[in-house]
Chain A
Amino acid sequence: MEKTSGSRKKAQKRKVATEEPQETAIVKDGATESGAQPPKASVFPPGFSISEIKNKQRRHLMFTRWKQQQRKEKLAAKKKLKKEREALGDKAPPKPIPKTIDNQRVYDETTVDPTDEEVAYDEATDEFASYFNRQTSPKILITTSDRPHGRTVRLCEQLSTVIPNSHVYYRRGLALKKIIPQCISRDFTDLIVINEDRKTPNGLILSHLPNGPTAHFKMSSVRLRKELKRKGKDPTEHIPEIILNNFTTRLGHSIGRMFASLFPHDPQFIGRQVATFHNQRDYIFFRFHRYIFKSEKKVGIQELGPRFTLKLRSLQKGTFDSKYGEYEWVHKPREMDTSRRKFHL
């Protein structure tokens, strides 16, 4: 037992006091025998790993020691590399770019090429064509699922201040399929339904009205205005600008156009307000800010309105008809989420 405990410890001071002087002697012998090898390898057969030690305290000890050694080696390697770079100066090879999931993204074949005529024709004649040709201007109806609680109601009110020309109506248990013809007859262009579960909003249905697609999103991380830190005053009535980030694939283009068609065409730059829909890894982050240019390059921003995150669940062709409608895209977790580097928007 003496020998084994001694051979396990290197020549470092440990608090297991009694056996130490003898152990160090034995360890030194081991070291001289095997030359430059660490004492561990010289005593134990190869293929031994720390995880095979049954005693938890000793195993932990060996592991921490191994970890410290790894850290030292890593630091030493880094320093060496830095010295080499400094030594080479200008001739040093460029720093390698760290791999992230975003830059390891699997190339999506449906990524829209801006010069593609077929896709351009498809987009020019789709259901949003009348908005993009400036023939209609948006008029939005915002409602919720039946019997909404406070958070959802406040979110609807705040959304109606963010989206110009929008009206909030209380959903009195009416069926959406009956609301939609009424909306169409009153010239509404879009319908937003915020679904609520257990007193928090968790879903969003966005339906473009005459016969347009319906998108169903999962909503999460909803922060109302008073929950935001460092927020500005309430948004004004000016029409905001819109930023749509990172909607690259064909599906992403459709969804981006859906969001764009919610806001009137000509933003009023006097209002200095901007609504951002930022897509990253299939999550769409909505933010509403007021900006001010302090100088030509420096901008200050104040976050105003509500903030939430959306994830697309399905895109259905035609107005809301979840049972008999035809789906253009449905999220299927077991088929589509198999790769961590593949995104669809």
Chain B
Amino acid sequence: MATTGARWNHVWVGTETGILKGVNLQRKQAANFTATGQPRREEAVSALCWGAGGETQILVGCVDRTVKHFSTEEGRFQGQRHCPGGEGTFRGLAQVDGTLITCVDSGILRVWRDNDKEISSDPLLELRVGPGVCRMRQNPAHPHVVATGGKENALKVWDLQGSEEPVFRAKNVRNDWLDLRVPIWDQDIQFLPESQKLVTCTGYHQVRVYDPASPQRRPVLEATYGEHPLTAMTLTPGSNSVIVGNTHGQLAEIDLRQGRLLGCLKGLAGSVRGLQCHPSKPLLASCGLDRMLRVHRIRNPRGLEHKVYLKSQLNCLLLSGRDNWEDEPMEPQEPQKPKNLSSEDAEADELWASLEAAAKRKLPDREQTPGAFQTRRRKKKRPGSTSP
């Protein structure tokens, strides 16, 4: 696959065999990327998150507790670091201010300094969140705030710059009508934008909204869907609703204002492992154990847009949030050219661009970032666009 086209991939999916797949829905192509060139089940991807610098870098968390850096510009893995401590696989991966936040299954949440060297330095901060963590999520508005939750591990919101105690600790709901304790199993957490609220979906098919700003620590709203554990959740753009997926492959949109079901999405046959909505377009990407990536349109009309068969079981995905879905028109080579020509073209273009750079005298910038990246950016000549 042309590595120069890697940045135009719309969806990045991590699989159980350790392969990172980049899918371009416009060209209907999927590319495999592995760190070692061979798939390995010990490196099964369990967490994905965008790295520093917009959407140019991806942090890939594997079950053997290594975090690999993948560059979408170059289309290859750049480095990895081992993050020891605790047992189990990564349940959450986040990145803030040059530091890396990891949380493992046994409840050890660590903040690592994100230097490019491979030596595993000691963590900057370590928190014990409680065993059985299923998800750790970072607040996109306040990157130092994370929330964790899991099986018999109630929702806790932590401020990494604050104290060692959680900022908000959720309380379990009241005993049910048989006066039995309601079990806790938070499978996925999302922060609602423009407020302090959080939404969780549980393995007991409940969707709960918590409000740390209100005096009550119990959920403010609870809604149920289906009879099977909900495994993944995502917020829809604009409207106050979430889309949840369960182990039977049923996707449902639930309104958070009233707690009712707005509609369902059909198509999946296996357990939903990853869900993400585009921030502005009404598109939803879902992946699961049936080895298919599906992109649905959520509104007018609701239905399936793309379906891609990706031979391995899919664990997690990242949907590119960029607005222009088409490839850049000023790409140096057309997609139909054979691969050997494309690499030659790339070199030629780099040569020309470096000549341009010399003329424009932007020498200090060139030293910091790799030459190829810098030249591409200049060639685009688009005002104020975020990186692709």
Contacts from A to B (Cβ < 8 Å): 109-110, 116, 118-119, 121-122, 125, 250, 317, 323-330, 332, 335-336
Q: Beyond A121-B17, A121-B39, is A327–B249 a contact (Cβ under 8 Å)? A: yes
Chain B residue with Cβ nearest A335: B266
Chain B residues with Cβ under 8 A from A329's Cβ?
269-270, 289-290
Q: Are A326 and B291 in contact (CB under 8 A)?
A: no
| Complex partner residue of A110 from B203, B266, B271, B309, CB under 8 angstroms | B309
B249→A330 contact, CB < 8 A: yes
Q: Are B311 and A330 in contact (CB under 8 A)?
A: no
Closest Cβ of chain B to A133, distance in Å, is 14
Q: Is the interface of B mostly helix, strand, loop or mixed?
A: loop
Docked Cα-Cα span, A48 to B229, in Å, equals 61
Inter-chain contact A118/B32, CB cutoff 8 Å: yes
Q: Contacts of B249 on A, CB cut-off 8 Å?
A: 327, 330, 332
Q: Are B289 and A118 in contact (CB under 8 A)?
A: no
User: Given the complex, which residues of B lie within 8 Å of A118, measured CB to CB?
Assistant: 17, 19, 32, 39, 311-312
Q: In the complex, how many angstroms separate the beta carbon of A216 from the nearest chain B beta carbon?
A: 13
Report the interface size for chain B: residues with CB under 8 A from the other chain.
26
Q: Which of B259-288 contact A (CB under 8 A)?
A: 266-267, 269-271
B229 touches A109 (CB 8 A): no
Residues in B lying within 8 Å of A, measured CB to CB: 17, 19, 32, 38-39, 41, 203, 227-229, 231, 247-249, 266-267, 269-271, 289-291, 309, 311-313
The 8 closest A-B pairs by CB, nearest first: A326-B271, A109-B309, A328-B289, A326-B247, A125-B41, A118-B311, A328-B270, A121-B39
Q: Contact: B271 with A327, CB < 8 Å?
A: yes
Chain B residues with CB under 8 A of A335? 266-267
Say whether B311 contacts A326, CB under 8 Å: no
CB-defined contacts of B290 to chain A, threshold 8 Å: 328-329
Q: List 13 A-B contacts (CB under 8 A).
A: A119-B311, A121-B17, A122-B17, A122-B311, A125-B17, A125-B41, A250-B311, A323-B228, A327-B249, A329-B289, A330-B249, A330-B269, A335-B266
- What separation, in Å, do the CA atoms of A325 and B17 have in the docked complex? 21
| B17 touching A327, Cβ below 8 Å | no
Distance, CA A156 to CA B101, complexed state (A) = 54
Residues of A within 8 A of B309 (CB): 109-110
Contact with A324, one of B17, B229, B312 (Cβ below 8 angstroms): B229
B247 cross-chain contacts in A, Cβ below 8 A: 324-327
Contact B248 A330 (CB under 8 A): yes
The answer for the CA separation of A339 and B193 in the assembled complex, in Å, is 42
Q: A323-B228, A336-B269 are in contact. Are A250 and B291 (CB under 8 A)?
A: yes
Chain B residue at minimal CB-CB distance from A314 = B248
Bound-state CA distance A250–B269 (Å) is 13
CB distance from B41 to the nearest CB of A (A): 5
